Amino acid sequence: MKIFTLPNILTLTRLIFSPLLLPLLLVYFLPYNSLTINIFLAILFVLLSLTDFFDGYFARRFNQVSSIGKQLDPLADKFLSYSTLIALLAAQKIFFYWVIILIGRDFFVMGLRAIAQDDGLKIPVSFLGKVKTTALMTFMAFAILNPYQDKGIAHTWNLIESALLGAVLLLCILSAKAYYDQFIIQMLAAGKGFGTVEPEEHEDPDLQKWDDGPL
């Protein structure tokens, strides 16, 4: 099996640059509030985000889908979104409570999926989850681009950013509820109890925790 295929290289690029380079640039250069610098940083973020689409596209197009790619792709996605949110917080471009909600929501959904998987069930990626991921990436790109956060909520750029953030938070809540409802439906349909622990029969479950789609 070839590891360094084009899809895996794109995934590894996102996995490496997202936590190591992008946050460093955001934290040190966003406070200058320079539109020119922000445009460069926003383009870099968008390019890293697009690798999430193209790694899957090329993997299917050239029949290069691999197990390592399936494991690394969602991990790289989470590195990109979480490191960007934390960097925006460090650069004082986003309120800390929104970061807690956005990251906490993902851990909530991952917890549901982990419990379902331990019981032999699978919660599929929802349409709302995909829309939420797209909206979150759009919001973060605009937050990086916006050099006017200190001009007050009445500024046009800030109004747009606030609207995008509001949409993301609403989608976070709705998609999390959709995942929770699906979790309950599947657990009840399978006759699974919530107070019992069944013996493990499969190999190390930690290798299977990362899902292959957006949350």
Tell me the domain boundaries of the chain: 6-192
Gyration radius of the chain over CA positions: 19
User: Minimal CA–CA distance to 109: which of 161, 59, 175?
Assistant: 175
Cα angle 79-83-87, degrees, rounded to a multiple of 5:
170
CA distance 57 to 116: 28
Q: Which residues of the chain have pLDDT under 50?
A: 197, 202, 205, 207-210
* Angle, in degrees to the nearest 10, between helices 35-61 and 22-29: 160
What's the half-sphere exposure (Cβ side, CA atoms, 13 Å) at 116? 23
| pLDDT on residue 28 | 96
What's the CATH code, domain 6-192?
1.20.120.1760
